[in-house]
Amino acid sequence: MDLNLKLFHPIKTEKEIFFSKLINDDSEFFMQFNKNNLVLNKENFKAKLTITDSEVSQIKDISDEVIKLTSLNSETWFGKFISVEDCFSIYKNAIVDNVLHCFFDDSTMFFSSKDQFSIEDVESELNGIALLNCVGVVYTKTSFFLRWEISQFKIKSDKSNVQEKYLIKDLDEHSRSLKDENLIKKIEDITLF
């Protein structure tokens, strides 16, 4: 993945937290993930997305670049120089054991190949393909981290549950009664031996 990241001067929020917009190649930074498991905490609008080792590596590259940019701009932004090593030590990784901690809101699109769903209509645990937006970097008094938000999630059915579905379909004619007298007599005369 080619990175051309740019971090903007952080803006102070009402809660004494700073937020810096992150872009890549002069546009918002989106990343599509492979089919994975997503667990939603609907009360807090937080989610946990299981990701592959390759995806972990890609996010590590992004994190490393953000850490370097933070150090490079620290004197201008925060009034004191913070070394790359110190930035690494206070950076809070959003990934723990191949699980990416991310966020969603009412604008997040959940859909399947046939339908679109509101957050209230989806299960708390889903399988599918996620499109996440790395909206920026959050700086607190003691740490900083990337904020990943789910933009879209395409729900995919779990193919391993094929056993639960019937492969033989009922036809309308199966519900009709037999009326052919000859056929009924033959069936009554059938014996196993």
- Cα separation, 38 vs 51, in Å, equals 9
pLDDT attached to residue 189: 59
Q: What is the pLDDT of residue 163?
A: 45
pLDDT of residue 58: 95
Which fold does the domain 5-161 belong to in CATH?
OB fold (Dihydrolipoamide Acetyltransferase, E2P) (2.40.50)
What is this structure's pTM? 0.78
Whole-number pLDDT of residue 157:
79
Look at residue 15 in the predicted model and tell me its pLDDT.
Answer: 85
Give the DSSP letter of residue 42.
T
| Domain boundaries of the chain, sorted by first residue | 5-161
Mean pLDDT, 10 residues at a time, over the chain (193 residues)?
A: 89 91 93 95 96 96 97 96 97 96 94 90 94 96 96 82 49 57 60 50
Structure tokens at 6: 């740019």
- What pLDDT does residue 2 have? 77
Which residues have CB under 8 Å from 142's CB, separation 6+?
Answer: 90
C-beta of residue 66 within 8 angstroms of C-beta of residue 137: yes
Tell me, what's the pLDDT at 80? 95
**Contact assessment for residue 127 and residue 155, using Cβ atoms and an 8 Å cutoff:** yes
In order, the DSSP letters of 61-123 are HHHHHHHHHHHHHHHHHHSS---HHHHHHHB--SEETTEEEEE--TT-EEE-SS-EE-GGGS-
Cα-to-chain-centroid distance, residue 9: 28
